[in-house]
Amino acid sequence: MTQVFRPDGQVVPVTLVKAGPCVVIQRKTPASDGYDAVQLGLMEYVKPRRLTKPQAGHAKKAGVEGVRFQREFRAGAGEGGLKMGDRVLADEFKPNDKVDVIGISKGRGFAGFVKRHNFRGGDASHGSMFHRAPGSIGGSSYPSRVFPGMKGAGQMGTQRVTVRNLEVVQVDAEDNVLMVKGAIPGPNGGYVIVRRAKR
């Protein structure tokens, strides 16, 4: 993350996202696959031994040696003209566009109720003996069990998170970098999906 200045002098916190170059690995059509979709791959150098033979062959059909990050998107109204081997670059987006960013959140390890579910916690006074415990989690004689889905302590983070309606502040088409207003999920250097806002 960093910050940039708007022309009126306002400071805007932004996250720099390297958005490409991506290549269309496969074009799915209703005639051949039953639905309309585009498979995109991020073009980064990958050691050949890191790819299985099916992965290498799949990428070779599109004319690329290998891709590091591959995802499939349902084709929208504007993506009908894309075909296998086409490049998708950061200039697909323009300043003031709204985007959704999807990523895997940072792992926080095993966390308790207060940190994981924002429980309030008990009094910190003398003799309280109830500080960060959950309270009641179910009836005793009936139903004599804890219902599934009850909020509890456990693994926190490392989940798919979608942050909606972030504003594209600037686009660096030469280096394929997007400046997105605000924070996005995941660690520095993590892989994310940037799509046009759905809502």
The CA distance from 72 to 27, in Å, is: 10
pLDDT in tens, 120-171: 989 999 999 999 988 899 999 999 999 999 999 999 999 999 999 999 999 9
Q: Which residues contact 59 (CB under 8 A, 6 or more apart)?
A: 25, 41, 51, 65, 66, 67
**How does 63-101 read in b/e, with b if 16+ C-beta sit within 10 Å?**
ebebbeebeeeebeeebeebeeeeebebebbeeebebbb
On whether the CB atoms of residues 62 and 23 are closer than 8 A, the answer is: yes
Q: What is the pLDDT of residue 76?
A: 67
Nearest to 192 by CA among 147, 167, 161, 157: 161
Q: Is the pLDDT of residue 172 over 60?
A: yes
Q: What is the pLDDT of residue 79?
A: 58
Domains and CATH numbers, the chain: 1-18+92-120+152-199 (2.40.30.10), 21-88 (3.30.160.810)
**How does 147-175 read in b/e, with b if 16+ C-beta sit within 10 Å?**
eeeeeebeebeeeeeebeebbbbebeeee
